[in-house]
Amino acid sequence: MKVLVICSRRYNGHELWTLLGVLQQRGIDFEVVSTALTIKDELTFQPNTISRLVYDVSPTEVDSFDGISVVSGNMADTEAYWTDKHVISLLQAFKNAEAAKAKVISAICCSVPTLAPIARDIKVSYFPLVRSRKHLERHGVLCQTVSLTVDRNFVTAENQMITQMWAEEICNILEGKAPTYHLVNSGFVPKGRERRMLKEVRRVIDEAREARALEK
């Protein structure tokens, strides 16, 4: 078995290395791709070299893989994948693949909205940014309030602290096993009130986001 791992060029080291470690431990092969051939840990800036760009992977290669995982990192790099047409075409190919069993599709933390275009009516866990939720809901994705969700062949997690559990569930699905972890909503409701923000501050933030979007 083999998994295609798409990571940010400035990746989250805990997520990436924990995922690869669990895959290796379970005897599952993998290939890591990104938007650059030299990728770096977003905190330590430790560089690593990979063999191919994500854009070198053709949707016709889907039969060479049993699953696809998207790993987060630097927010600008991570969020760029949300609307990347090539990445979306790869995900669509994995979803539509004709095989004896469905290919595993997974993402973690702020990379989960990358799955939005192919995850209508799928339950997902995601890092609860407002723009993440809105992006997911616009595509009809069912946002959950627990940290790990397995829905059919989709495996998603809220944050890096869940990485090992997330990776184990990916392997379970690949191996035809039932999910190991079953999380439920605690029902906790935070107290307090919504933080107020000066209109001038909000305007500057919105203008900066618009400028960044135009740069892409």
Amino acid 207: pLDDT: 79
Whether 17 is in a domain gets the answer yes
Question: How would you classify the pairing of strands 104-108 and 29-34?
Answer: unpaired
Lowest mean pLDDT among 11-25, 90-104, 159-173, 187-201: 187-201
- Is residue 43 scored above 60 in pLDDT? yes
Whether 199 is in a domain gets the answer no
Whether 89 is in a domain gets the answer yes
* Rounded CA Rg of the chain: 17
Whether 193 is in a domain gets the answer no
Domain harbouring 132, CATH code: 3.40.50.880
Whether 73 is in a domain gets the answer yes
- Is residue 28 scored above 80 in pLDDT? yes
Whether 64 is in a domain gets the answer yes
Residue 61 token pair: 């290669």
Whether 204 is in a domain gets the answer no
- Is residue 190 scored above 80 in pLDDT? no
The domain containing residue 34 runs over which residues?
A: 2-188
Amino acid 197: pLDDT: 76
Please give the average per-residue pLDDT across 154-168, as a whole number: 97
Distance in angstroms between the alpha carbons of the first and the last residue of the chain: 35
Domain count across the chain? 1
Whether 74 is in a domain gets the answer yes
- Is residue 216 scored above 60 in pLDDT? no
> Strand, coil or helix: what is 211?
helix
Grade residue 195 by pLDDT with cuts at 50, 70 and 90.
low
Residue whose tokens read 């431990």: 25
Amino acid 151: pLDDT: 96
